[in-house]
């Protein structure tokens, strides 16, 4: 939701603040003599360490999400965010710089406390004050009608008109309504509402979002149209688009939302990304490290399995197939081949069954022990997949399921995984009922994903492998 300009303005403000805070702290410590010590470096000699410290802070800020959700953020909320992250970063520096000092005394402990607290205050105030200047400038620009997010309102009734009027009166909402979208599949008799055109119907919504570069969609339906909400949320499941709905519909999307106030109008914002930035960074780092370790450890087994697959049945040892990944982007998935060559060429895309005749004798055991998944660690290293997430599916089945299962495409909001909550809680897909049940587990994961849940799923997967419960 943040424009490149928002992020760039904030980034350069932080670079200036962090570099300046290093010199300011030096001045406070040595020139004012507030902290005991003797000046040891000329100001020009401080430039290189200032850059090093600046890079450290920029990495910390990125990991902990200080470059996300910047668009018209509350200045008080940013005050709290910057305070917490700079305090954490200062404590990290404290342990890095002082942890090897084993000769602690009351005197140097007091010095370390004063040193650390003073440095934190200098960094915190420097960063926050420059960010305050940037936010104030951005708000002034928005009030002048510059840099507004393009928005559409789904609905043409009284609620939709009231919301549009409120947004027009209060430009600091950051939204410029470019049109209304009919809540049905037919255009209404009115082609304009006020001075805003009706630019399409519900079936056109996804196309309108992409064509008009819409950033915000507000679902403002009358009471009799509330049953259409699920379809609307499904249609709007597009990257970088914020979805806001009227709070009457809270019961229908419990767990997916956060309530906000827009000038007296309570709106529910559908939240597609519950995992904070530092957890996402940690998750990706863990994926890379663990995948590399497993590939190195299993390299001899990898070679043995390739030989066994080749000599027990004709065809390549590694099977590749196109699947849909994050936001529906196609990628090639790799697995050890467990079926006879060209097994699907005759049957077409179908599910594997419990006693599937297409599965080779060796493939049966590879599936039982989940060893057929090992090549997917390469997909994890490439970034196509994660260790934990909803299983990637073929385009044929995705196109089929999204027509029959509400919110199915929300699974594509996160990177697919080798294992997932649905895999440890449910069996392989053999029927539409299985797909529906597994989708429930996948959506629960998407809405509640966390490092704690990932570790729980990995432990369950290990137990499944040890017990040979795979299929």
417-419 vs 386-388, strand pairing mode: parallel
CB 55 within 8 A of CB 49: no
Calpha distance 466→461 (Å, rounded): 9
Please give the average per-residue pLDDT across 415-425, as a whole number. Answer: 89
Instruction: Please state the domain extents for the chain.
Output: 4-143, 149-270, 277-467
Contact 382, 418 (CB under 8 A): no
Of the options 3.40.50.720, 3.20.20.450, 3.30.230.10, 3.30.450.20, the CATH number for the domain spanning 149-270: 3.40.50.720
**Burial group, residue 36, by CB count within 10 angstroms (0-12, 13-18, 19+):** exposed
Query: 98-112, 152-166, 366-380: lowest mean pLDDT where?
Result: 98-112
Structure tokens at 285: 């780092």
341 DSSP assignment = T
Q: H or E segment at 152?
A: strand 149-154
Q: Could you tell me the two tokens for 132?
A: 């305050």
Give the per-residue pLDDT at 81: 92
Q: Contact 92/99 with Cβ under 8 angstroms? A: no
Average pLDDT of 225-242? 73
Q: Is the dihedral of CA 116, 117, 123, 127 positive or negative?
A: positive
pTM, whole model, 2 decimals?
A: 0.71
In this model, does residue 443 exceed pLDDT 70?
Answer: yes
> What would the pLDDT profile of 444-469 be if each residue is shown by its tens digit?
898 888 898 999 999 888 887 777 66
What span, in angstroms and rounded, lies between the C-alpha atoms of 244 and 259? 9
Mind listing the pLDDT tens digit for each residue in 274-303? 677 888 899 999 999 999 999 999 999 989
Model confidence over 28-78: pLDDT tens digits?
Answer: 776 655 555 555 555 667 788 888 899 999 999 999 989 988 887 888 889
Task: Classify residue 275 by its DSSP letter.
Answer: S
Residue 324 token pair? 């849909």
The conformation of residue 42, written as its DSSP 8-state character, comes to -
Whole-angstrom distance, CA of residue 262 vs CA of residue 163:
9
Q: What's the pLDDT score for residue 433?
A: 80
How far is the C-alpha of 316 from the C-alpha of 374, rounded, in Å?
A: 16
Enter the DSSP assignment of 34.
S
Location of structure tokens 């009284």: 158
- The DSSP secondary-structure symbol of 267 reads E
Asked if residue 79 lies in contact with residue 128, where contact means CB atoms within 8 angstroms, the answer is yes
**Average pLDDT for 186-208:** 86
């Amino acid at each position: 939701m943040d424009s490149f300009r928002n992020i760039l303005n904030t980034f350069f403000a932080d670079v200036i603040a962090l570099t300046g805070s290093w010199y300011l702290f030096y001045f406070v410590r040595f020139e004012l003599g507030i902290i005991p010590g003797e000046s040891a470096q000329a100001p020009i000699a401080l430039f290189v360490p200032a850059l090093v410290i600046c890079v450290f802070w920029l990495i910390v800020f990125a990991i902990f999400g200080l470059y996300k959700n910047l668009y018209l953020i509350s200045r008080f909320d940013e005050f709290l965010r910057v305070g917490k992250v700079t305090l954490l970063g200062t404590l990290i520096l404290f342990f890095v710089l002082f942890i090897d000092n084993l000769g602690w005394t009351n005197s140097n402990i007091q010095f370390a406390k004063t040193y650390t607290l003073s440095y934190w205050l200098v960094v915190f105030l420097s960063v926050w004050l420059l960010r305050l200047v940037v936010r104030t400038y951005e708000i002034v620009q928005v009030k002048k009608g510059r840099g507004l997010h393009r928005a559409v309102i789904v609905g043409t009734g009284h609620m939709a008109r009231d919301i549009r009027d409120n947004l027009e009166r209060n430009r600091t909402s950051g939204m410029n309504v470019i049109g209304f979208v009919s809540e049905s599949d037919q255009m209404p008799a009115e082609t304009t509402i006020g001075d805003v055109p009706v630019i399409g119907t519900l079936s056109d919504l996804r196309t309108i979002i992409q064509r008009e570069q819409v950033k915000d969609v507000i679902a403002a339906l009358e009471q009799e149209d509330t049953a259409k909400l699920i379809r609307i949320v499904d249609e709007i499941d597009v990257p970088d688009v914020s979805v806001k709905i009227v709070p009457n519909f809270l019961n229908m999307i419990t767990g997916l939302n956060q309530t906000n106030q827009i000038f007296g109008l309570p709106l529910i914002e559908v939240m597609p990304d519950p995992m904070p930035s530092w957890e996402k960074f940690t998750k990706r780092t863990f994926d890379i490290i663990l995948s590399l370790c497993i590939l190195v450890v299993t390299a001899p087994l990898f070679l043995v399995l390739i030989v066994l697959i080749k000599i027990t049945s004709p065809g390549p040892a590694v099977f590749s197939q196109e699947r849909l990944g994050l936001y529906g982007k196609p990628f090639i998935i790799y697995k050890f081949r467990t079926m006879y060559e060209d097994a699907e060429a005759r049957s077409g895309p179908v599910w594997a069954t419990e006693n599937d005749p297409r599965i080779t004798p060796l493939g049966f055991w590879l599936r039982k022990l989940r060893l057929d998944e090992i090549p997917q660690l390469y997909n994890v290293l490439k970034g196509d997949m994660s260790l934990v997430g909803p299983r990637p599916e073929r385009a044929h089945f995705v196109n089929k399921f999204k027509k029959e299962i509400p919110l199915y495409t929300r699974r594509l909001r996160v990177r697919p995984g080798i294992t997932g909550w649905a895999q440890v809680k449910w069996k392989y897909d053999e029927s539409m009922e299985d797909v529906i049940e597994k989708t429930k587990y996948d959506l629960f994961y998407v809405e509640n994903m966390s490092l704690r849940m990932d570790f729980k799923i990995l432990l369950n997967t290990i137990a499944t492998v040890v017990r040979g419960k795979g299929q």
